[in-house]
Every structure is written in C-alpha cells, then in structure tokens.
Amino acid sequence: MTRAQALAIITAKLASLDDEHVMTVAEIVQSIEAGNELPRELTDHELTLIQQAKEDFKAGRSYSLDEARALTDQVLAKRGVALRDLDPGSAEW
C-alpha cells in the first residue's frame, strides 16, 4: 500500500466512525508522532495472547511466511475473497 492509498482509506473511513473511534485514531496518531509507547494500556486478554505467542515461538510453534500466506489464502478463499482483491493497486503480497 502506498502512502497516498493509506491516506485515501483513512480519509474515506474517518467520517463514518463514531466519536470514540475518532478519538482513538487521534490518540494513536499523536502517540506515533511523539514516539511514545502504546497509546493505551493492554488488556489482560491482549497480554495473555502476547505471552502465549512468546511461548509458541520458544517451542517452535510458528509459521513461515509462505505457510502463513497459504493459511490466509485458505481462509479468504472460503469467504470468496482473494488476497489480491484486498488491495487491487498492489502486486502480490
């Protein structure tokens, strides 16, 4: 995705967001610009998922990029969507 495409998506979708989500987007952008850490604290669920992911990596339970793409393609195919359909302006991912 190019910068112009990203800005177009943000601009097109921003007006349809409710106030809470607009404020969340603003906080994220300000945080990125300021070089801060996370724009909010992680939930217990998010922290648990991160810990599980770390344990999976240590145990060798991870996918190569090709494996991840193949699994993603399978899920998308079940939904009738091809990965290339998600960003028609890009080359294959």
In a domain, 91, yes or no: no
Residues 47 and 23 in one domain: no
Regarding pTM above 0.75, the answer is no
In a domain, 51, yes or no: yes
Residues 48 and 80 in one domain: yes
pLDDT digit string (tens) for 40-89?
A: 788 999 999 999 999 998 998 888 899 998 998 899 888 888 766 666 55
Q: What does each C-alpha distance from 44 to 22, 39, 51, 55, 73 come to in angstroms?
A: 24, 16, 11, 17, 30
The closest of 9, 8, 28, 11 to 20, measured between CA atoms, is 28
In a domain, 92, yes or no: no
Cα–Cα distance measured from residue 57 to residue 74, given in angstroms and rounded to the nearest whole number: 23
In a domain, 36, yes or no: yes
Residues 33 and 61 in one domain: no
In a domain, 34, yes or no: yes
Residues 19 and 36 in one domain: yes
Cα–Cα distance measured from residue 68 to residue 81, given in angstroms and rounded to the nearest whole number: 16
pLDDT digit string (tens) for 6-37?
A: 889 888 888 898 999 999 888 888 878 777 66
Listed in sequence order, the residues at least 6 apart from 15 whose beta carbon sits closer than 8 Å to its beta carbon are none
Q: What is the pLDDT of residue 67?
A: 92
| Structural domain containing residue 59 | 43-85
Residue positions counted in the chain: 93
| Structural domain count of the chain | 2
In a domain, 93, yes or no: no
